Chains A and B, each alone.
Chain A
Amino acid sequence: MTQLPPLSAVKLGLVIDLDTCVGCHACVVSCKGWNTENYGAPLSDQDAYGANPSGTFLNRVHSYEVQPAEGHAQLVHFPKSCLHCEDAPCVTVCPTGASYKRVEDGIVLVNESDCIGCGLCAWACPYGAREMDVAEKVMKKCTLCVDRIYNDNLPEEDRVPACVRTCPAGARHFGDLGDPESDVSQLVAERGGFDLMPEQGTKPVNKYLPPRPRDRSEDVDILAPYLAPVTDQPKGFVGWLDKALSALPGGK
Chain B
Amino acid sequence: MHPAPSVILFTTLSGLGFGLLFWLGLGMPGPTGVVAFVFFAIAYLLAVGGLLASTFHLGHPERALKAFSQWQTSWLSREAWASVAALVVMAVYGAGLVFLGTKWTALGLIGAVLSIGTVFTTSMIYAQLRTVPRWHHWTTPAVFLCLSLGGGALLAGQIRFALPLLALAGVAQAYTWITGDARLRSSGTTLASATGLQGGSIRAFEPPHTGTNYLLREFVYVVGRKHSRNLRVISLTLGFILPIVLLLLPFNHILAGVAVVSHLAGVLVARWLFFAEAEHVVGLYYGKRTT
Q: Tell me the A residues contacting B by CB distance below 8 Å.
A: 1-3, 18, 25, 28, 52-57, 60-69, 73-76, 78, 80, 89, 92-98, 114-120, 122-128, 131-132, 134, 136-138, 194-201, 208, 210-211, 213
Contacts and interface: CB of A to CB of B under 8 A. Distances in A.
A197 B193 contact: yes
A166 B178 CA distance: 49
Contacts of B63: 96, 114-116
Nearest to B204: A64
25 contacts: A1-B70, A3-B73, A18-B197, A25-B208, A52-B212, A64-B195, A66-B201, A66-B202, A75-B205, A76-B197, A89-B131, A95-B70, A115-B60, A118-B57, A123-B1, A123-B131, A123-B218, A125-B131, A126-B194, A131-B214, A194-B196, A197-B193, A199-B187, A199-B188, A200-B281
Nearest to B59: A117
B70 A94 contact: yes
A62 B206 contact: yes
B281 A197 contact: yes
B208 A124 contact: no
Contacts of B237: none
Interface stretch (B75-83, B102-110, B222-230, B243-251): B75-83
B206 to A, nearest CB: 4
Q: List the 10 closest pairs (A to B, CB-CB), nearest first.
A: A117-B59, A137-B59, A60-B208, A68-B200, A128-B282, A96-B66, A95-B77, A95-B67, A63-B206, A95-B76
Interface of B: 1, 57-61, 63-64, 66-70, 72-77, 80, 125, 128-132, 187-189, 191, 193-215, 218-219, 280-282, 285-286
Contacts of B74: 2, 92-95, 120
B121 to A, nearest CB: 11
A16 B183 CA distance: 31
Contacts of B77: 95-96
B218 A119 contact: yes
Given A69-B200, A95-B80, 9 more contacts: A61-B208, A64-B195, A65-B203, A66-B198, A96-B66, A98-B66, A119-B218, A134-B214, A210-B196
Contact of B197 (A1, A64, A126): A64
Given A2-B70, A128-B285, A118 B76 contact: yes
A96 B70 contact: yes
A144 to B, nearest CB: 20
Nearest to A25: B208
A239 B193 CA distance: 64
B125 A120 contact: yes
A131 B206 contact: no
Contacts of A210: 196-198
Nearest to A139: B59
